[in-house]
Amino acid sequence: MTHESALRAAAFVGGGNMATALVGGLIAGGARADAFHVVEPLAAQRGRLAQRFAGIHVHDALGAGMLRGADIVVLAVKPQQMRVVAHALAPLVATVPVVLSIAAGIRTADLARWLGGYRRIVRAMPNTPALIGRGISGAYADPSADERARGTATQVLRAAGEVVWCDREEALDAVTGLSGSGPAYVFFLLEALEQAAIAQGFDGATARRLAYATFDGAVALARQSDQDLASLRANVTSKGGTTERGIGVLSARGVDAALREAVAAATARARELGDEFGAAQ
């Protein structure tokens, strides 16, 4: 059980889409805009942040002042930028209670090395529905991060959706392969359903409406039901009916196996990226 307390101040390094989603969610939840400092090298993006969140502090480079009193530093930069950012942060971070990294593939041991031995690190893998507050993040805390640190990280991540804590850091590779990459799998299937509807004579807008509502409704039904997914599927699949024939085609084509292989392949790539990024000194 994580211990959450009111977020007094937070510093974000990187002001892109995910940082914007987290800051926006926290402000919507009651945090003051002036509690946030964001480092963003692109002037246009700094302008967008300042315009969207009146009172927020935006900076073009790291400085000790922006970390003073911060409950958390959130590293929201591209994985290939993390080593340089961490080296710059290392002399400034000692008194910060927790560092949260949302960069894919960067392992806590490598980040701790670049931070000069700082280990109160939480690593998380959010996904793109976080942009509308409907995401889910897998998270792992280094043993040096106490319950309060975990609670602060949870509070930040919950601003964009659900949080699932992992006992092993290696599990984050599977989170990346499943929910991190998963929205693309869903979009892939939605595209296929849309094209299938168009092939049956529907116009594009109607085809898209049918596909979206089918996914939305099925997920909502599954969430509210106490039955498992196999039972829910069986409930729709009447003997000799239309669904049975359609499911038969999907099974014959190995769609279920292909999805498992897709998750496994993405998971393996996440491990490879961790090896590649972590090799930098």
DSSP result, the chain = ---------EEEE--SHHHHHHHHHHHHTT--GGGEEEE-S-HHHHHHHHHHSTT-EEESS--HHHHTT-SEEEE-S-GGGHHHHHHHHGGG-TT-S-EEE--TT--HHHHHHHTTT---EEEEE--GGGGGT-EEEEEEE-TTS-HHHHHHHHHHHHTTEEEEE-SSTTHHHHHIIIIITHHHHHHHHHHHHHHHHHHTT--HHHHHHHHHHHHHHHHHHHHH-SS-HHHHHHHH--TTSHHHHHHHHHHHTTHHHHHHHHHHHHHHHHHHHHHHHHT--
pLDDT at 45 over 60: yes
The Cα–Cα gap between 208 and 9 comes to 42
pLDDT at 280 over 90: no
pLDDT tens for residues 146-177?
999 999 999 999 999 999 999 999 999 999 99
Per-residue pLDDT, 5: 54
Per-residue pLDDT, 1: 47
pLDDT above 90 as % of the chain? 90
The arithmetic mean of pLDDT across residues 32-45, rounded, is 95
Amino acid at residue number 148? R
User: Global pTM?
Assistant: 0.90
CB 118 within 8 A of CB 144: no
- How far is CA 239 from each of CA 181, 231, 234, 245, rounded to the nearest angstrom? 35, 14, 9, 9
Tokens of 4: 């959450």
Per-residue pLDDT, 195: 98
Per-residue pLDDT, 208: 97
Could you give all domains of the chain from N- to C-terminal order, each with its CATH number? 10-169 (3.40.50.720), 182-269 (1.10.3730.10)
Per-residue pLDDT, 2: 54
